[in-house]
Structure 1
Amino acid sequence: MLSQSIQLFTMGFTQKSAEQFFDTLIKSGVRTVIDTRLNNVSQLAGFTKKNDLKYFLKQVGGIDYVHILDLAPTKDILVEYKKSKGDWGVYEQKFLRLISDRQIEKKVTPKLLNHGCLLCSEAKPHNCHRRLVAEYLKNRWDNVNIQHL
């Protein structure tokens, strides 16, 4: 018997107002925001700083929040990417090796991911690790539908 399909969302918070951000999550039926950022306490995060975001999600949309560092890149991978002025191919290769080594498919459950939203800062998913995480899990589990918000 085939297992039930998992609806997994991804979203970056930059270039969105708080209203756009929360309305998009609520209208999409997101139940849990899964924070994939390495640094989620920076002042640059604005309304998405860890403790503020957890509060706002619950109050505004009844949405749960979890931060999973194993879904984030390491600092050295990020620094190298910025130093090399964004060689996406190198970053992607290193990040995919990292999440494979971490065996992230054993650190998240289908229940958590179903109607979950992988969150990071990048506005678009193309050159973002949240897309790589989503696709990696889809390749491991085969029953994941990904929607980038």
Structure 2
Amino acid sequence: MKEKIDLFTIGFTKKTAREFFEILEKAGVKRIIDTRLNNVSQLAGFTKKSDLAYFLKKIANIDYIHILDLAPTKDILDEYKKKKGDWETYEQNFLQLIADRKIETKISPEQIDDACLLCSEAKPHNCHRRLVAQYLNKKWGNINICHL
């Protein structure tokens, strides 16, 4: 096991398929970890679950896994998105959720090394993928986080 774990994060919105796959390839990503609650919607475009797994393997030889324990619940997501809740409340609720789920026991350092957490938000600032990466770093203390 490496001393430092490299963990990337990426959102697919505001990126073309070409940009998305080239960014992943250039970074040396070995595995996408899908952290979305809903990854089968038509709105997901080229990142729809079955299509994405195929494209990742075919285009860049990147593995794909979907880990629902890293996604927010529908209630937490709806409160923030549909009811226009504030980020601080969302962040507190989500951090409590992943702590309750003990996500650090559901994923291994080996799984996340050279992996990339995927969600839809274009930037990591108001996104749960950043919270997952920071939470795991707090638990394990050896993660180099890079937002693509």
TM-score in terms of structure 1 length? 0.97
Q: What is residue 33 of structure 1 aligned with on the other side? A: 32
Distance in 1 separating the partners of 2:2 and 2:54: 33
Q: What is residue 116 of structure 1 aligned with on the other side? A: 115
1:4-60: per-residue Cα shift (whole Å, max 9, x none)?
Answer: 110000000000000000000000000000000000000000000000000000000
Does structure 2 retain, via aligned residues, the 8 Å contact 1:57–1:65?
yes
Gaps of 5+ in 1: none
Q: What is residue 12 of structure 2 aligned with on the other side? A: 13
Q: Which runs of 4+ in 1 moved over 6 A?
A: none
Percent identity of paired positions between Structure 1 and Structure 2: 68
Q: What is residue 42 of structure 2 aligned with on the other side? A: 43
Q: CA deviation at 1:83?
A: 4.0
Distance in 1 separating the partners of 2:53 and 2:9: 17
Q: What is residue 146 of structure 1 aligned with on the other side? A: 145
Distance in 1 separating the partners of 2:146 and 2:85: 25
Does structure 2 retain, via aligned residues, the 8 Å contact 1:9–1:117?
yes
Residue 117 of structure 2 aligns to a residue whose secondary structure is strand
Q: CA RMSD in A?
A: 1.1
Q: CA deviation at 1:85?
A: 1.4
Does structure 2 retain, via aligned residues, the 8 Å contact 1:3–1:143?
no
Structure 1 segment 38-117 matched on structure 2, within 5 A: 38-117=37-116
Gaps of 5+ in 2: none
TM-score in terms of structure 2 length? 0.98
Does structure 2 retain, via aligned residues, the 8 Å contact 1:96–1:132?
yes
Q: CA deviation at 1:82?
A: 2.1
Distance in 1 separating the partners of 2:88 and 2:145: 22
Distance in 1 separating the partners of 2:40 and 2:84: 24
